[in-house]
Amino acid sequence: MAQPNFPTPPPQLPEEIKISFPAPKILLITLSREPALNAINTEMHWALHNLYVWLDTQPSLICAILTGKGRAFCAGADLKEWHEGRQGKTPSGGFGGLSRRGGKKPVICAVNGICFGGGCEMIINADIVIASGKAQFALPEVTIGVTALQGALPRLIRTVGRQRATEMALTGRRLGAQEAKEWGLVNKVVPDGQDVVAEAVKMASLIASHSPDAVIVSREGLKMGWEGLGAEEATKIWGESWYARMYDGENMKEGVRSFVDKRKPRWVESKL
């Protein structure tokens, strides 16, 4: 699919990051640094952060997919850069612009292979994770005397529970795709040999078929729980802010009209 026209062009990206548009309303981001197993350096952190910021400003895009080229999704940080003292500050979005990202639009990780360290930190904060059967997940930082510092640890314990999170963080052992699914880190495992990105595009297309307002506002409600607010407090804040804005919008009116008229809704681009 050709690149659509956008109100503002995508930010300038290093050659290790490729973007494409595999289906309407969907941005595909591919880490393309195969010799380094898609390890992310400082330049890439900021480029990815800026790309997600840009995504949130584009009314014609609803969902992004992140994947890797070759046998790795992302092996983590560029340790050669660390060793040489060349690493810079990471952006507010965290590792790869994703591990601490709040953002407005959902991001699906299509994990095609090795997903270690910072790569695993990214998927822990992703909205949906689809993994190849050959994917492996680990937080191996403890084995080289460091720690996962880009937001994964407090988020991990909410996803998998204290004992499993402790096992991952303190042993550094690898989880296969199916075990990661059983633990709640992965939504779906695609059999080895099948295209994990194609499966992610199907999921993203389903999301993109719905009201863009409802997608954004529903995700905001989930984020409030993810960040630790109690259910009643979160519902009150969410209802008085995001839901109130959606309630006054054209897409909510159109959704109700289409149900009454027994027809498919005709969504307009979100103004949220």
240 is catalytic: no
Q: What is the spatial distance between Cα 238 and Cα 192, in angstroms, rounded to a whole number?
A: 40
Token code pair at residue 188: 């779906």
141 is catalytic: yes
Non-local CB neighbours of 179 within 8 Å, separated by 6+ positions: none
Q: Is the dihedral of CA 6, 127, 220, 226 positive or negative?
A: negative
Q: What is the spatial distance between Cα 183 and Cα 163, in angstroms, rounded to a whole number?
A: 11
Exactly one of 77, 131, 138, 177 is catalytic; name it: 77
Q: Count CA within 13 A, CB hemisphere, residue 264.
A: 5
Q: What is the spatial distance between Cα 114 and Cα 123, in angstroms, rounded to a whole number?
A: 12
DSSP assignment string, 73-128:
EE--B-HHHHHTT---PPPTT-GGGTTT---SS-EEEEE-SEEETHHHHHHHTSSE
Exactly one of 64, 96, 141, 199 is catalytic; name it: 141
Residues in the chain: 272
121 is catalytic: yes
Exactly one of 16, 121, 199, 220 is catalytic; name it: 121
76 is catalytic: no
Exactly one of 118, 119, 249, 255 is catalytic; name it: 118
Non-local CB neighbours of 94 within 8 Å, separated by 6+ positions: 100, 101, 121, 125, 150, 151
- Nearest Cα to 38, choosing from 101, 145, 117, 129? 117
Residues that are catalytic: 77, 118, 121, 141
